[in-house]
Structure 1
Amino acid sequence: MDNIKVSVIVPVYNSCEYIGTTLDSIINQDFEDFEVIVIDDGSSDNSLEIIEEKLSKSNISHNIVHQDNYGVSCARNRGIELARGEYIVFVDADDYIQKNHLSELYNGKTDFSLVQLVKKEKNNISNPYKFETQSISCEDFIKMELNMEIPFSFCQLMYKKSIIDENNIRFTPDVVYGEDTEFALKVLVFGDVISISNEATYCYIQHENSAIRTSNFRRFYIVDVFENLAKYYKKHGKDELADLIITSRIPKAIFGNMNYFFVNNYDFDEVLSQMKELDLFTKLSKFEGDSKFKLKIKLFLLSPKNYYKIWKKLKNSID
């Protein structure tokens, strides 16, 4: 296949239970002229055997790489380096895509395109978000994400590879939580327009081994990611976006993850101890925006224990 329009990158680590379904969903796309690049990141199960069997029987152009276990960021970066397509799409090894995923994303014109995502946990499937527009500027989209006005995952996007390469953007190794969001928000700042489809074609599978379920207090480390992103934006003259990270995205991430821990019955004192150690109280106080949310933060900062007691009594949902 000489004319490769899209490269689909799949990092794999001990995913034998899911990778067959994932690859089937990619192989059965109703789109032509794409390749799949699978990076086996040191799996110790039979993931590699399943990958080789599935792809060897398909007519899809493919590249299978086996490397030592360097982590998902290094695996994705290796995929970017090997990609020959004009655009790049990421699919995780325990998720799957609908057969029209690539055809909904590809238009060959815009820097980025976006489809909707659903989360599946056993027999429960979430409702996808619906946009009221068919396109949006990259800067406006970033602002919506930083204000947490929309649900967003990096895997919803198709990325123009030249933007990634020309700006030397890669996933940051050793980041334990949020490396995918950081990557997307770095690349998007160099783009112009995102085309939008309201088709829900990406299925994110939630299970006991999902990173989001096993991250423990690492969820708070997203603050470091966003602080580094703010510095990156300032370096590239995007002061307004950098300020939005400090005054909106970080406080909302702290508060949302704090409530996540409460919902999942983490010990209150342990949560508070982690927050103090990471200086999250100070960062929470920098919130500027919605008065209702600002009041919640103010009440918490005045008396975390009383806030927790009231929250527990009222069973507030995660914000």
Structure 2
Amino acid sequence: MQVQVSVIVAAYNEEHWLRRCLTSLKKQTLAALEVIIVDDGSTDGTATICDQYCARWPHLFRVIHQRNQGQGPARNAGITAAHGRYLGFVDADDWVEPTMYATLVATAERSHAQIVVCDVRKIYAATHRTTSLLSLPDATDHVAIATYLKYGLNNAYSGNKLYARSCWQKYRYQRMVYEDLDILLDMLSYCERVAYVQQPFYNYYKHAGSTTLDYTNPRLFDIMTAYQDAIEHAKVTYQDAVTYCVAKRILINLATPGFADYLAEFIELIR
């Protein structure tokens, strides 16, 4: 059977959450699926969990064990190993709904979109709160790309999207925090067609161990590089839309602990 979708799960010390993630992928209604788990030099029980799933369901799961390189390079290893016509990404502490990839593939085939987007359900571990907001007002097989870049929610997430393999011919993730933001706005700007499914198929688990919630991590401020790359590399047609998106994100980030220290740099970037 030809693989339609390769789902890449980069995992580093995720023994507490990984089973939930992999089980959600095992429950997918799309049969022509492969899951490539990249164990990025874990020092806990992550590697054992990966091997257990691969041993029990070898037709579905494959694992790459490598030395620790960071989430971006780990995802890149999965991209290189993938066989699917489409690619997807799920963080090891998140999970997806059973019909996610079947629905996104059907939409991609119908619309001929290079990227299909769905909504995100955010689960806040500390407060036991859940939110699910629409990425755009209406589902459509032909998203207005400038509108999605300027106003769309979750436009720089990797996990809530299905990608045609051709999207990754010229892109790879960088070794940095905010590796998604660094390339996804750019990638979207070069798409001929983007489709949107108005369903919260992707569950984003926000907990104390999340990288982008660790405001003591100096690498968090890779966000400045990501913002610059997003603007500079975007297709000229959509550069203003990407700049608007970045400016809006900066305003939101100024309320985040630690980001106010970079106010001068953010203002200069907007200018």
Q: TM-score, normalised by structure 2?
A: 0.88
1:101 to partner: Cα distance: 1.1
- Larger helix proportion of the pair: 1
Whether contact under 8 Å (1:34, 1:60) holds in the other structure is no
- Supply the AA of the counterpart residue of 2:253: N
- Match 2:248 to one of 241, 252, 259: 252
CA 220–275 in structure 1, closer or farther in 2 if over 3 Å, else same: farther
Whether 1:115 aligns to 2:118 is yes
Q: Report the identity percentage.
A: 23
Aligned to 2:180: 180
Which residue identity does 2:208 align to in structure 1?
E
- Deviation of the 1:239 alpha carbon: 2.2
**Paired letter, 1:274:** Y
Native 8 Å contact 1:34 1:61 kept in 2? yes
- 1:241 deviates by 2.2
Structure 1: gaps (5+ residues): 287-319
Distance in 1 between residues matched to 2:152 and 2:61, nearest whole Å: 37
What residue in structure 1 maps to residue 20 of structure 2?
Answer: 21
CA RMSD of aligned residues (A): 2.1
SS in structure 2 at match of 1:53? helix
Rg larger for: 1
Q: Residue 200 of structure 1 aligns to a residue in which SS?
A: coil
Bigger mean CA deviation after superposition, 220-229 or 150-159: 220-229
Task: For 1:230 and 1:105, locate their aligned partners in 2 and report how far apart those are by CA, in whole Å.
Answer: 28
Q: CA 1:223–1:148 in structure 2 vs 1: closer, same or farther (change >3 Å)?
A: farther
Task: Give the drift of 1:191.
Answer: 2.2
CA deviation after TM superposition for structure 1 residue 212, in Å = 2.0
Deviations 1:56-101 (A, max 9, x none): 2126432210000011000000000000000000000000111111
Q: Structure 1 128/256 Cα, relative in aligned 2: closer, same or farther at 3 Å?
A: closer
User: How is 1:259-270 mapped onto 2 (pairs within 5 angstroms)?
Assistant: 259-261=255-257
Match of 1:242 among 234, 239, 243: 239
Report the counterpart of residue 156 of structure 1 in structure 2: 160
The 5-angstrom pairing of residues 30-45 of structure 1 reads 30-45=29-44
Q: Which residue of 2 aligns with 1:89?
A: 88
Partner of 1:169: 171
Report the alpha carbon displacement of residue 151 of structure 1 after superposing the two structures with TM.
Answer: 3.5
| Pair 1:51-2:50 in alignment | yes
CA distances 1:249-283 after superposition (whole Å, capped 9, x unpaired): 3322222111122xxxx5xxxx554333xx22333
Tell me if the contact between 1:230 and 1:241 (Cα under 8 Å) persists in the aligned partners: no
Task: Name the stretch that deviates more: 48-57 or 210-219.
Answer: 210-219
Pairwise CA distance, 1:231: 2.2
* Residue equivalent to 1:289: none
Return closer, same or farther for 1:72/1:6 CA change in 2, 3 Å cut-off: same
> Displacement, 1:219?
4.9
Pair 1:8 & 2:7 matched: yes
1:227 positional shift: 1.5
Unmatched 5+ residue regions in structure 2?
A: none
SS in 2 for 1:191: coil
1:282 matched residue in structure 2: 268
Listed as ranges, the matches of 1:88-237 within 5 Å are 88-107=87-106, 108=109, 109-122=112-125, 123-129=128-134, 131-137=137-143, 140-141=144-145, 143-152=146-155, 153-165=157-169, 168-173=170-175, 175-176=176-177, 178-216=178-216, 219-233=220-234
The code of the aligned residue for 1:115 comes to: C
Distance 1:158 1:225, change over 3 A: same
The C-alpha deviation readout for 1:11-34, integer Å capped at 9, x for no partner, is 000000000111000011111111
Q: Secondary structure at the match of 2:24?
A: helix
In structure 2, relative to structure 1, the CA distance for the partners of 1:155 and 1:118 (3 Å cut) is same
Report the alpha carbon displacement of residue 242 of structure 1 after superposing the two structures with TM. 2.2
Q: Residues 156 and 63 of structure 1: is their aligned pair in 2 closer, same or farther, counting only changes over 3 Å?
A: same
Aligned residues: 262
Q: Aligned pair in 2 of structure 1 residues 222, 144: CA closer, same or farther (>3 Å)? A: farther
